Amino acid sequence: MSDFPEADWKILRSLSPVAQERFCKRVLEEVARLIADPSKGHHERYLAMFKLIRRRDNEFGDAFDDMRRSTAMMQLAHIRHHQLLAEEEFMRFSQETRDAVLSFLNL
């Protein structure tokens, strides 16, 4: 969708670093829990961490890599899906954009 509104594009660009930090914090907390699990051996923990990082890296890419206005709606939907914006932050977007993101997520 290349007709992402300019005002919403500016909001998304300003909130993207905040959402990235939240995503990374969440992943690092997940990794910390995995590697601290004494019920598993070192190799099991390593493999679990590797799988988690690979999965989360793909999710990170969907939400943040190569952000352009033509992909902004989809990326905002990924950000919303992962609950990386507070409700007040999401409400800063236009009604049209919020409706489009919510419609996409309800598919």
**In this predicted structure, what is the pLDDT of residue 1?**
43
Other CB atoms within 10 Å distance of the CB of residue 104? 16
Q: What is the mean pLDDT of residues 61-84?
A: 96
Query: What residue spans define the domains of the chain?
Result: 6-105
Residue 107 binned pLDDT confidence (cut-offs 50, 70, 90)? confident
**Which residue from 75, 107, 106 is spatially nearest to 93, judged by alpha carbons?**
75
Using an 8 Å Cβ cutoff, are 57 and 101 in contact?
Answer: no
DSSP 3-state assignment of 25? Answer: helix
**In this predicted structure, what is the pLDDT of residue 3?**
82
Residue 2 binned pLDDT confidence (cut-offs 50, 70, 90)? low
